[in-house]
Amino acid sequence: PHDFLLFSLPKTFAHIAFEERPPGEESVAFDHAVLTHRVKQANQKQCCVCGERGAAITCAESSCERSFHLPCAADGECITQYFGEHRSFCWEHRPRQAAVAAPAENTSCVICQETVGDCPSYHTLVCPACTHTWFHRACIQQHALNAGTVCFRCPACRDSTVFCTEMSTMGIQIPARRPLWEDNRMYTSLLERHRRCDARKCLYPRGRRQADLRGPWQLILCSSCAAVGTHRRCSCLSNTTTTWECDSCAGLGTGKRQSAACRCAGARQGLPASARGSFQRVSLPQEGWQPVPTRGYRFLLLTFPPPLT
């Protein structure tokens, strides 16, 4: 027979045994008489934690007669193993982690970043694989409920096999499902490719959210963050440029800027990624220069004073 936990009355949980279902049938029926009998038995037992009746969970240790409510387990430092026979243990007979070195002073929980105790305890657990990653029981339990069996592992060393076995034995419930963050699609936007030109003034007649597959109107994403994009022409990039960096990644004020002509045209600043960290010396006339307008851009007349002697 299988065991299930039944919530029948406040603070009342009972292990209910039911007959094996016939082969091929998916539905399972409880025997009403057995159910009623177990509830009556539970009402006669007293919880070793809160002192009230209705404690249907009994310690699995054969010589122990302690019983408790499932909601009282944490307060009484009792545990229930959510696998196999779903055994429960009182504070005295609950399994404990193998002897490990006590955490160093001011060791923090890797999940909540609050300090843990100075020794292993009911409320403080350690990863059995790396033996130096500590966390609170409540923190790792919440992590298990969020991650499920698919993604639950040590937050530091990423071990899953030894870690999951140990945590299940210590009474951590790990739901057999995919993580919650995949069910509610809260991270769906992170899987979408950036599809917008972020130049200060987009020059493409069809708008910022349109682009060609190649040529001057192809959308190029920042080669570092991929969170900013530009049409080649909107940032004065040649048709052969395949990599480019935005201002945030290239660094403003570091010389990695566009020409004055592009800035006057309203294009976003930035340089091809190949130019990052390299500079080229350019000879400029001392008296000034006359611009040659092209493609309708407006140019500035820059005058440079003669060098000091």
Which residues fall within 8 angstroms of residue 1, CB to CB, at 6 or more apart?
Answer: 17, 18, 19, 20
* Token code pair at residue 153: 């592992």
CATH assignment, 2-89: 3.30.40.10
Model pLDDT for residues 187-210, shown as the tens digit of each residue: 677 678 899 999 999 999 999 999
CA distances (Å), origin 16, targets 67, 85, 97 = 15, 12, 30
pLDDT tens profile 47-77: 999 999 888 889 999 999 999 998 898 899 9
Q: What pLDDT tens digit does each residue of the chain (309 aa) get? A: 334 444 434 444 445 544 444 555 545 556 778 778 777 877 888 999 999 988 888 999 999 999 999 889 889 999 999 999 899 999 999 999 986 788 888 899 999 999 998 888 899 999 999 998 999 999 999 999 999 999 999 999 999 999 999 999 999 999 999 898 877 666 677 678 899 999 999 999 999 999 999 999 999 999 998 889 999 999 999 999 989 999 888 875 433 444 334 443 443 445 555 554 444 444 444 444 455 454 544 545 555 556 554
Which residues, in sequence order, are CB contacts of 20 under 8 Å at separation 6+?
1, 2
Q: What fold characterizes domain 96-187?
A: Herpes Virus-1 (3.30.40)
Segments making up each domain of the chain, as ranges: 2-89, 96-187, 194-281
Asked whether this chain's domains 2-89 and 96-187 adopt the same fold, the reply is yes
Q: What's the confidence (pLDDT) of residue 32?
A: 78
39 within 8 A of 12, measured Cβ to Cβ: yes
Q: Which pLDDT score is estimated for 20?
A: 45
Nearest of 29, 11, 10 to residue 20 by alpha carbon = 29
pLDDT at 38: 75
Q: Which CATH number fits domain 194-281: 3.30.40.10, 3.40.228.10, 1.10.1270.20, 1.10.10.1100?
A: 3.30.40.10
Q: Positive or negative CA dihedral for 37, 41, 43, 48?
A: negative
CA torsion sign, 25 to 26 to 27 to 30?
Answer: positive
Cβ neighbours of residue 206 closer than 8 Å, sequence gap 6 or more: none
Q: How much of the chain is helix, strand and coil, in % rounded to 5?
A: 20, 15, 65
